Amino acid sequence: MADGKKKSALDIIKSYDGPPVRIMEVCGTHTHEIFRLGLRQILPKEVTLISGPGCPVCVTPVSFIDEAIWLALERGVTICTFGDLVRVPGSEGSLATARSQGARVEIVYSPVDACSYAAAHRDEQVVFLSVGFETTTPAACLAVKEAAEQELTNFSILTANKTMPQAYEALKNSADVFLYPGHVEAVMGTKHCEGLAEQGISGVVAGFTAKELLTAFAVILAKFPQGKPFFKNCYPRVVTAEGSLPGQRLMAEVMEPCDSEWRGLGVIPMSGQRLQQRYAAYDARQKYGVPPMHGRSNPACRCGEVLQGICTPPQCPVFGRGCTPDHPVGACMVSHEGACSAYYQYGGGN
C-alpha cells in the first residue's frame, strides 16, 4: 500500500478486481463454515464457490448402502455405523427402512467402538461400515488390528474408504483453485499438493476459523491473477509437509489402494483403500460373499452433479420441496457435511 502498511486479508478480498475464479471447497466442513460465518457475502462477485466431493457420506455410492442392507437382512449381521449413513437412500430404501424390517443397526462413534461392540456381543456377527477419507481410515485400521489381537471372529468391516489426491486430479477441470481440506492434509502432508501444483493444479490448504478461511481466500485472490499454478499451506499450525507419519504407516500396514466408485464421479482408479489379503478374515465382502450390487439412485436426485460442481443444490428440482433434511432424497441432504444440507440450513441461493 502507498502508506507502507501491509494489506489485510479482508483488504485483499474486498479490493479484488482480477479475473473470475472458481474455487472448489473440497471439504464439507469448509462448505458449512463458509456459510455459517457469512463469508459468502464478503467475497467479491468474481468468486464462484463450488462445493466438492469432500463429504464421505455424500460420495459413498448407492451400491454400498445396498451391500450393507443385504448383509443385515440376508446374512443377519449387526451393522455398526456412523449415524448419517442410516438415512442414506439405497436402491430400495435405507438402513433405517431395513431396521423396520428387522435389521440390527447400531450407531457408533468410531470403528474402535464397533470392535468393542463385537467383543461384548460374541453371539452376533458384527460388520462396521468403513467410509471416509484419510482422516478416518487410520481408525478403521486400528479397529482391524485390535480385532486381530483379540482374535475376534465376529468382527469385519465393509470398506468404501477413499483417498483425495485422485479426486483432485479427476476434478481438475471443475475448478480453478482447490481449497484443500485441512483435516486430510494434516494426515497426508502437503507434498502431494505441491506435486499437483507442478502439474498445473492450484490449491491452498485452509483451516476452519474465520481468520484462517479469510487468509486462504486472500492468498488465492493475490496469486490467481498472476496466471501461474500455485500452492500455499494456510493452515501451518496443524498441517505439515510430512503429515502424520503414524497415520500413514498404519494405513500402509493394513490397507492397500484399489479402484473405487464415487457417487457422481464414477470409478476413479486407485482412489480407494481395501484391506490387505493378510487381513481378509476381517473383510466383510470376502467373509460373506457379498454379490456385486448395481445401485440405482433416485432419478430426481442431482447429487452427482452437485458433487462435481456442475449444479448448485438449489438448481436441483426437488431441493427444499421433495428433498429436505427430514425427508432426504439424496446423500448430500442427509449428511451434516453435505452441500445440499448446508444450502438448506443457511438459505443459500444459486
Query: CA 308 → CA 59, 129, 228, 258, 281, distances in Å?
Result: 11, 24, 24, 21, 36
Q: How far apart are CA 39 and CA 43, in angstroms?
A: 7
Contact window for ligand SF4 (CB under 6 A) among 29-37, 169-177, 181-189, 330-338: 330-338
Among 12, 213, 214, 332, binds ligand SF4 (CB under 6 A): 332
Among 141, 143, 221, 316, binds ligand SF4 (CB under 6 A): 316
Q: How far apart are CA 61 and CA 136, in angstroms?
A: 18
Q: Residue 225 Cβ, how far from ligand SF4 at the closest point, in Å?
A: 33
Instruction: State which H helix or E strand residue 52 sits in.
Output: strand 47-54
Query: CA 268 → CA 18, 111, 133, 258, distances in Å?
Result: 34, 25, 14, 9
Phi and psi at 48, nearest 5°, equal -110, 125
Among 12, 216, 333, 342, binds ligand SF4 (CB under 6 A): 333
- Interface with ligand SF4 in residues 255-314 (CB under 6 A): 300-303, 306, 313
Q: Residue 324 Cβ, how far from ligand SF4 at the closest point, in Å?
A: 8
Q: Residue 38 Cβ, how far from ligand SF4 at the closest point, in Å?
A: 23
CB nearer ligand SF4, residue 292 or residue 299: 299
Q: How far apart are CA 222 and CA 218, in angstroms?
A: 6
Contact window for ligand SF4 (CB under 6 A) among 92-100, 142-150, 208-216, 325-333: 325-333
Q: How far apart are CA 107 and CA 84, in angstroms?
A: 9
Residues in the interface with ligand SF4 (CB under 6 A) total 15
340 binds ligand SF4 (CB under 6 A): yes
- Interface with ligand SF4 in residues 30-89 (CB under 6 A): none
Contact window for ligand SF4 (CB under 6 A) among 92-100, 133-141, 192-200, 323-331: 323-331
Asked whether the beta carbons of 298 and 185 are under 8 A apart, the reply is no
Asked whether the beta carbons of 131 and 335 are under 8 A apart, the reply is no
Q: Which residues bind ligand SF4 (CB under 6 A)?
A: 300-303, 306, 313, 316, 318-319, 323, 329-330, 332-333, 340
